Structure 1
Amino acid sequence: MAVQPRARTIVLTLCSALLATATTALPARAEAPEAPAAPASWEVRGPNGSPTAVVTLDDGRPTLTVRRAGRTVLEPSPLGLVTEQADFSEDLTFTGRTDRTINERYTIPTGKSHKRVARMTESRFRFRTADGARLDLLTRVAPDGVAYRYVLPGDHGDVVREASAFTFPATAEAVINRYRADNELPFIRYESAAAAPEGTYSMQALFKTDGGYALIAESDLTGSYAGAQLTHAANSPTYGVSLWNNDPIQVSGSLTTPWRTVITGDLATVTESTFTDDLAPKSRIRDTSWVKPGPALWTWLAGGKEAGQSLEAQKKYVDYAAERDWPYEVVDAGWYYKPGEWDVIDPDWQTNSWMPELVRYAAAKGVGIHVWLHYTLLTDPAEREKWLSTLERWGVKGVKIDFMDSESQERMRWYDEALEDTAKHRLMVNFHGSTIPKGMQRTWPHVMTLEGVGGEEKRNNTAAQLAALPFTRNVIGSMDFTPGAFHRPFRPNVQSDAGELGLSVLYESGIQNLAGTPESYDARPEARRYLEQLPTGWEETRLLTGDPGRSAVLARKAPDGRWFIGGTFAGAARSVDVPMRLGAGKWLVETVTDGPSGLVREPHVVHGGDTLTVPVVADGGFAALACRWSPGRTTCDR
């Protein structure tokens, strides 16, 4: 039956109502979540042959990746810091980038070479938080490394912590040492970065990755900040950056943090690198003519406390240094104490001290005097001025300052003050119980050396430690290991006088403090002859061969063109093959090795690039001296 028009209207109306009711009863369709923004990445490329740094912003969190020759050195690693008023580690927005090229030439009295060239690309990445606070990430890439630092143009309160960390590939090996305030604990080799025990480690950590070696360090550390350590959780390939004692960094105004550095390349590139110096500020001393490195006879291990209180004993040491043509003698603790007392300062030390007489006596023989001071004598500005001005007036050449044992912001401020004042009084400096250089020697070239190592006077060294130091601590700057203590029964190479002799070259120090007794040198004429020829500094450094923690052989070029070579080896006695990477042509190489009756010197004529086979005893080493060969030449003596 056909539907009438009125009936059709009723049916349509009813259907519309039912449809509306059904539609209302259905749940609303959920909107699809907004897809996260794709990570933004920016590459920073340095001069030819440099690694590549990749800065990435992923969901507001910045990271850094380092690659070399297409291989990974550093996996994406967190960046950023947190202050009292702002979190610069997340929810960041990229606002811009600027680039510049850095080409610098500078000279430095100490270190692996006197003349330096720094070539780097610098990129400044600008980020903002949701509240509008600005963080700049400054990144530099050089042929031997990548570095970054943070710049806060505004005042955002004290720094609470850093989000910075270094994440390594799972297969990376590690040579690292536990952190202690004096930086003296031994380095241990681990087959993987994740396998190291949970704990806090020094910022002088070496890792071997698919992309080459990577040494983590820092540069340009001053009193505006505090020293950093690496914190490691068990079974993790990530090493975070923590600040001294987790104390806040006091900030007033803008802030520029120290550089976090990754020195990277093959093992020779890392070992020979001057990257931490290259990143540091230029010298603050205009006239450095009074800054003169060189070997010194250090009398502490040679004569102990008694020598420190004896003018006559010190004169004998001066005589011995003069006979060897060593430019310095170092008087250690005791000289300003009351006679017979070992911890009581003579209140009339300025008038009672025999030091002026010793200085005059030494000067007449061409020997300069360095003296030991406990750092607490130099904490008060007025007292510091009294001590330093008096020493300058007496003619003392340098000071060995001891027992700082802290990298707190307060102690770093003290370093700033002490460096400025010792420079003003033209006193060279050796810091013991100290931080490690971290670029200090470029900014303050009167710093000859720093301890920051468990040196010859310690009893916990091993042969493996001797073979780790050239690739870790000594890469960063001068290291006062005080080699040459042949009389010490506790040295790990006690059966290898040749290995002990080689340490005088293997370890670089602006003042190479030789720690043996005159009697021990006289009993080893070949060692004495070699030490008498040590130069005042080096023009070039080359790694000849090595395996961190197992072996190391370095060659250092003297100003007269001769190469001094030192090698150390952990493990069984064997013959070792050493590439002679000294340059083209013929060379006369005089090796000093351990024989059945003492040290043996033997000449070899080799071509540059040849391999020289050298015998070493168990946990031993050797020393060598190389010069250009000419017909009839049989020795490299100057």
Structure 2
Amino acid sequence: MKLKIILVSFIVLSFCKVWSQQIVLESPNKKNVVALYAADSNNKGEWYLKISYQKDKNACEIIPKINLGLSRSDQDFSKELYFLKASKPKMIKEHYTLPFGKKEVRDNEANEVVVSFENPSKAKLNLIIRAYNDGITFRYEFPEKKGSYTMKDEFTSYQIPNKSMRWLEKWNTANEGLYAESSEDKIVQQEWCYPGLFNSIDKSCWYLLHEADLDKNYCGTKLSNTQDLNTYKLTFPDPKDGRGTGESKPIISLPWQSPWRVISIGSLADIVESTLVEDVSTPTRFKTTDWIKPGKVSWNYWSSNHGTKDYKIVCDFTDLAVSMNWPYTLLDWEWDGMTNGGNLEDALKYIHSKGIKPLMWYNSGGDHTWVSSTPKNRMLTHENRVEEFTKLKKLGVAGVKIDFFESEKQNMIQYYLDILEDAAQFEMMVYFHGCIVPRGWSRTYPNLMTYEAVRGAEWYNNGPEFSVTAPEHNTILPFTRNVVGAMDYTPVTFTNSQFPHHTSYGHELALSVIFESPLQHLADRPEGYYELPDEAKSFLKEVPTAWDNTKLIDGYPGKEVTMARQKEGAWYIGGISSSEREEKTKKIKLDFLKEGISYRAVIIADGKHDKDFNSQVMVVDKTSTIEVKLLRRGGFVVSLNPVQK
């Protein structure tokens, strides 16, 4: 157990005992270190954490100060905290499985200590700290058994060295902005979305700031450096969010624990491959999960914004799912106004006759959204949901997409989780859109299949900007947004919607591997897939949406990324570049393959121009290296299947 507790005491003239307190906690692999300090030399006052990273026997201080504390409606828990005790060190060791995500089988271990404080009125506050091999987490706890209070503020804030590179997205309620890179004089003061990515000054490690295990007893927070350029404080929702509905300050009931404050730490590979956000979240109570089925989805909105109003278009996308061996098709908004040869019941009958499972869209409804698109309000209350889910179950609908939440206030967090609980009673999968960034809920509610919360391919419909920014944006998301949970970017489009692509066909194909989402909505029109070469078409039929393992091969945010994902004995590799000027030749070592097994490698890379592919097949093994050429804004995929002897 790698826990050091250092207590130093001395006697002052008044013969009162004063303690200078320091607690140091190391991860099991000794790489991640968190230390607790008092802001002055006595045992009563403000406290803060310091985070360090150990690499090659050299310690790097990555976050010099994390301010701590809370303010409740009845009293303060920040300025005059008296140290009471630190618990005996405890090993956290978990093994669990999820039916989707970066990896099916999850193992994690951490060292934990609970530090107990009291304020001048003797009210108690605990700080629970864990050091994992892939990061540091901490949360607050009020251990008293009863009481209800408004939380006035949370003082958690991260002091980030000015020279540290950072990738952050300007705050917006839908979490659909672009990440911007900055440091020193380029740093902007404003509110920011989760997660935030940072690189240490000496470049030795990376870290990602996020939160996890958010429940009904709190609100979502965001990062803000409006008060201090290099200090990112956790901030409650704006009162104006959700059209002013709901309270911005949460009401808590004791006993209470805050969400985990999560700092993923390590190499870029450590960040990308981490499952820490789900590891610290509450385990599911679901008795069975065999009804939860990841898979690819045909989706008509991108190519025809009102496509679900047209029965014939719905049938065309059902036929696409059949042709591509995809299990699902989504009926997006306005399905209640379907015409042109059939209505909803006719469409569902046709979909089922083809062996495809339907998913259906809903407006979240209520006064929190200005969007009037229908069907609206059918998910708004428990009674509404029970009535609707009862109908959907009889109609053979497998899941729902619910849109336009527009707030992370406590009332909206409660709404999200109420939906998931009610849906589970009907074995109904859920997809949130226009929504919160993942907070680990998929571990607690594994019927939560995916979230939007990203500027995805839908933005090709919104203006010319995304044509230019998408190539770089796509290479940032694997290191930021998609690290913390499923991300339905609605990728892999070859034709154009309202505004054109600048990415190559190889780049688009690679997004099926690069972006992780258990329900992967492939957004192009049917002819966009029917006209592909056989190799690319076969790849999109076969590539999974849930994985046994994930590996970052190489990459850098904003420049390029190459990832490998495993499903059973097969591996799939995807690589993309954002370069506007240079073509690239990449050499990919296959040393992650299993020893003594040969694999049939199908390589589909950029061809002579951005709408062309160059495909080849070869036999490889663990000692092999594959060489591929990428055009500007290009990409490639590789499938690796064991050769049967």
1:530-575: per-residue Cα shift (whole Å, max 9, x none)?
A: 101122521100001110111111111112x111111111113222
1:565 alignment partner AA: I
Map of 1:471 onto structure 2: 479
1:186 positional shift = 0.5
Moved more, 293-302 or 443-452: 293-302
The structure with more radius of gyration: 1
Match of 2:49 among 40, 64, 69: 64
In structure 2, what is the Cα distance between the partners aligned to 1:291 and 1:43?
A: 42
Map of 1:372 onto structure 2: 361
Match of 1:149 among 139, 162, 165: 139
1:72-129: per-residue Cα shift (whole Å, max 9, x none)?
A: 1211210111111221112111111223222111111121011111212221110011
TM-score, normalising length: structure 1: 0.87
1:574 alignment partner AA: K
Map of 1:382 onto structure 2: 383
1:36 positional shift = 11
1:251 positional shift = 2.1
1:301 positional shift = 1.5
2:220 alignment partner AA: G
Moved more, 137-146 or 95-104: 95-104
Match of 2:91 among 78, 101, 111: 101
Instruction: Identify if the C-alpha distance between structure 1 residues 34 and 123 changes in structure 2 by more than 3 Å, giving closer, same or farther.
Output: same
In structure 1, what is the Cα distance between the partners aligned to 2:623 and 2:62?
A: 29
Instruction: Identify if the C-alpha distance between structure 1 residues 606 and 167 changes in structure 2 by more than 3 Å, giving closer, same or farther.
Output: farther
Instruction: Identify if the C-alpha distance between structure 1 residues 623 and 234 changes in structure 2 by more than 3 Å, giving closer, same or farther.
Output: farther
In structure 1, what is the Cα distance between the partners aligned to 2:404 and 2:263?
A: 29
Instruction: Note the aligned Cα RMSD (angstroms).
Output: 2.4
1:490 positional shift = 6.7
In structure 2, what is the Cα distance between the partners aligned to 1:489 and 1:319?
A: 20
Match of 1:363 among 328, 352, 357: 352
Map of 2:373 onto structure 1: none
Moved more, 469-478 or 43-52: 43-52
In structure 2, what is the Cα distance between the partners aligned to 1:339 and 1:493?
A: 31
In structure 2, what is the Cα distance between the partners aligned to 1:448 and 1:87?
A: 39
1:581-625: per-residue Cα shift (whole Å, max 9, x none)?
A: 422455443221121262121234444365433211112211221
In structure 2, what is the Cα distance between the partners aligned to 1:172 and 1:606?
A: 41
In structure 2, what is the Cα distance between the partners aligned to 1:189 and 1:85?
A: 41
Instruction: Identify if the C-alpha distance between structure 1 residues 230 and 130 changes in structure 2 by more than 3 Å, giving closer, same or farther.
Output: same
- Structure 1 contact 493–620 (Cα < 8 Å) conserved: no
In structure 2, what is the Cα distance between the partners aligned to 1:252 and 1:38?
A: 33
In structure 2, what is the Cα distance between the partners aligned to 1:501 and 1:600?
A: 13
1:302 positional shift = 3.4
Instruction: Identify if the C-alpha distance between structure 1 residues 157 and 235 changes in structure 2 by more than 3 Å, giving closer, same or farther.
Output: closer
1:443 positional shift = 0.4
| 1:483 is aligned to 2:491 | yes
- Structure 1 contact 480–512 (Cα < 8 Å) conserved: yes
In structure 1, what is the Cα distance between the partners aligned to 2:509 and 2:208?
A: 27
Instruction: Identify if the C-alpha distance between structure 1 residues 156 and 607 changes in structure 2 by more than 3 Å, giving closer, same or farther.
Output: same
- Structure 1 contact 182–435 (Cα < 8 Å) conserved: yes
- Structure 2 contact 96–106 (Cα < 8 Å) conserved: yes
Map of 2:267 onto structure 1: 266
Match of 2:587 among 561, 574, 577: 577
1:312 alignment partner AA: K
1:222 alignment partner AA: D
Instruction: Identify if the C-alpha distance between structure 1 residues 582 and 355 changes in structure 2 by more than 3 Å, giving closer, same or farther.
Output: farther
Map of 2:512 onto structure 1: 504
Match of 2:191 among 188, 193, 200: 200
Map of 1:24 onto structure 2: none
In structure 2, what is the Cα distance between the partners aligned to 1:77 and 1:143?
A: 20
Report 1:397-412 matches (<5 A). Answer: 397-412=398-413
In structure 2, what is the Cα distance between the partners aligned to 1:332 and 1:411?
A: 22
Map of 2:309 onto structure 1: 309
In structure 1, what is the Cα distance between the partners aligned to 2:163 and 2:489?
A: 32
Instruction: Identify if the C-alpha distance between structure 1 residues 609 and 449 changes in structure 2 by more than 3 Å, giving closer, same or farther.
Output: farther
In structure 2, what is the Cα distance between the partners aligned to 1:558 and 1:149?
A: 35
Instruction: Identify if the C-alpha distance between structure 1 residues 578 and 437 changes in structure 2 by more than 3 Å, giving closer, same or farther.
Output: same
Instruction: Identify if the C-alpha distance between structure 1 residues 548 and 457 changes in structure 2 by more than 3 Å, giving closer, same or farther.
Output: same
In structure 2, what is the Cα distance between the partners aligned to 1:120 and 1:493?
A: 44
In structure 2, what is the Cα distance between the partners aligned to 1:324 and 1:49?
A: 48
Match of 2:76 among 64, 79, 87: 87
Moved more, 124-133 or 148-157: 148-157
Instruction: Identify if the C-alpha distance between structure 1 residues 491 and 127 changes in structure 2 by more than 3 Å, giving closer, same or farther.
Output: farther
- Structure 1 contact 568–620 (Cα < 8 Å) conserved: yes
Moved more, 412-421 or 242-251: 242-251
Instruction: Identify if the C-alpha distance between structure 1 residues 167 and 611 changes in structure 2 by more than 3 Å, giving closer, same or farther.
Output: farther
In structure 2, what is the Cα distance between the partners aligned to 1:261 and 1:149?
A: 9
In structure 1, what is the Cα distance between the partners aligned to 2:563 and 2:16?
A: 55
1:216-258: per-residue Cα shift (whole Å, max 9, x none)?
A: 0110112211111111148732211111127321123332111
Instruction: Identify if the C-alpha distance between structure 1 residues 609 and 255 changes in structure 2 by more than 3 Å, giving closer, same or farther.
Output: farther
1:283 alignment partner AA: T
Moved more, 435-444 or 295-304: 295-304
SS in 1 for 2:78: coil
1:396 alignment partner AA: V
1:275 alignment partner AA: L
1:521 positional shift = 1.0
1:195-236: per-residue Cα shift (whole Å, max 9, x none)?
A: 420000112000011451100011011221111111114873
In structure 2, what is the Cα distance between the partners aligned to 1:301 and 1:41?
A: 55
1:35 positional shift = 12
Match of 1:593 among 605, 616, 634: 605
In structure 1, what is the Cα distance between the partners aligned to 2:283 and 2:499?
A: 38
Structure 1 stretches lacking a partner, 5+ long:
1-30, 341-351, 632-638
In structure 2, what is the Cα distance between the partners aligned to 1:301 and 1:89?
A: 49
Match of 1:133 among 110, 119, 123: 123
SS in 1 for 2:63: strand
SS in 1 for 2:638: strand
- Structure 2 contact 506–636 (Cα < 8 Å) conserved: yes
2:484 alignment partner AA: I
2:628 alignment partner AA: V
TM-score, normalising length: structure 2: 0.86
2:63 alignment partner AA: L
Map of 2:36 onto structure 1: 55
1:226 alignment partner AA: C
1:537 alignment partner AA: A
Structure 2 stretches lacking a partner, 5+ long:
1-11, 240-247, 366-376, 461-465
What is the aligned length? 587
Map of 1:529 onto structure 2: 538
In structure 1, what is the Cα distance between the partners aligned to 2:421 and 2:27?
A: 34
- Structure 2 contact 311–342 (Cα < 8 Å) conserved: no
| 1:168 is aligned to 2:177 | no
Map of 1:393 onto structure 2: 394
2:190 alignment partner AA: G
In structure 2, what is the Cα distance between the partners aligned to 1:569 and 1:412?
A: 37
Report 1:523-562 matches (<5 A). Answer: 523-525=531-533, 526-559=535-568, 561-562=569-570
1:105 alignment partner AA: H
2:32 alignment partner AA: P
Map of 2:322 onto structure 1: 322
Instruction: Identify if the C-alpha distance between structure 1 residues 492 and 159 changes in structure 2 by more than 3 Å, giving closer, same or farther.
Output: farther
Moved more, 93-102 or 433-442: 93-102
Instruction: Identify if the C-alpha distance between structure 1 residues 396 and 338 changes in structure 2 by more than 3 Å, giving closer, same or farther.
Output: closer
Instruction: Identify if the C-alpha distance between structure 1 residues 480 and 87 changes in structure 2 by more than 3 Å, giving closer, same or farther.
Output: same
1:429-450: per-residue Cα shift (whole Å, max 9, x none)?
A: 1100000111011000011100
SS in 1 for 2:305: helix
In structure 1, what is the Cα distance between the partners aligned to 2:499 and 2:143?
A: 51
Instruction: Identify if the C-alpha distance between structure 1 residues 361 and 528 changes in structure 2 by more than 3 Å, giving closer, same or farther.
Output: same
1:166 positional shift = 1.0
